[in-house]
């Protein structure tokens, strides 16, 4: 138990170790960097975002995001730049289009079906 607690204490220091590497002129820029890198997917280790991943490519892409923020580019410009190269897959929140319509509305459809079934069942019991 003590060992586990010890490792849990280490976790925040790992997270901040990545950030200390970059120097920002303002807190606003740093927040933008943190927000962008946490919503972009690492393509090598797909269940990690760019902020968490230690893959070499994630590091390169983090550097790109950092440089582009330094150049004064907007969040949308940076996202568009990466999507043009790696596709919508790099976004953790997929855009709504023909390909992803099931992803966006499928759960609601299942909810309606489930609720309908439930109401039907209750009505019948009455």
Partner 1 sequence: MNLFKQVRFALPFILFLFIVILLMRGLSLHPNQIPSPLMNKPAPTFSNDFKGHVTLLNVWATWCSACAEEHDFLLQLAREKEVILMGLNYKDNPKAAIRWLKQQGNPYQLVAYDPTGQIGIDWGVYGTPETFIIDKKGIIRYKQLGPLTQEVWEQTLKPLIQQLQNESL
Q: Which residues bind partner 1 (CB under 8 A)?
A: 43-44, 46, 56-57, 60-61, 64, 83-89
Q: Minimum Å distance from CB 83 to partner 1?
A: 7
CA distances from 39 to 91, 97, 117 (A): 6, 19, 37
Cβ proximity of 82 and 61 under 8 Å: yes
| CA distance linking residue 66 with residue 40, whole number of Å | 13
Looking at the DSSP assignment, which residues form a beta bridge with residue 91? 40
How near is the Cβ of 24 to partner 1 at its closest, in Å? 22
Cβ contacts of 112-117, under 8 Å, gap ≥ 24? none
Output 16 or 47, the one with its CB closest to partner 1.
47
> What's the rounded Cα separation, in Å, for the pair 69 and 75?
8
Tokens 């319509």 sit on residue: 101
Considering beta carbons, is residue 15 or 94 the nearer one to partner 1? 94
The least distance separating partner 1 from the CB of residue 82, rounded to whole angstroms, comes to 9
CB nearer to partner 1: pick between 28 and 85: 85
* Nearer Cβ to partner 1 (31/46): 46
Shortest Å distance, C-beta 81 to partner 1: 9
């Amino acid at each position: 138990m003590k060992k586990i607690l010890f490792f849990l204490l280490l976790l925040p220091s790992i997270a901040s170790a990545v950030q200390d590497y970059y120097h920002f002129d303002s807190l606003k820029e740093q927040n933008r960097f943190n927000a962008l890198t946490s919503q972009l997917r690492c393509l090598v280790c797909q269940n990690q975002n760019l902020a968490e991943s230690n893959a070499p490519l994630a590091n390169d892409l983090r550097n790109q995001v950092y440089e582009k923020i330094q150049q004064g580019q907007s969040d949308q410009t940076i996202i568009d730049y990466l999507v043009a190269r790696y596709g919508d897959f790099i976004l953790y929140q997929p855009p709504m289009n023909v390909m992803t319509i099931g992803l966006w509305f499928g759960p609601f459809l299942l909810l309606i079906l489930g609720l309908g079934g439930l109401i039907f069942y209750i009505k019948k019991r009455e």
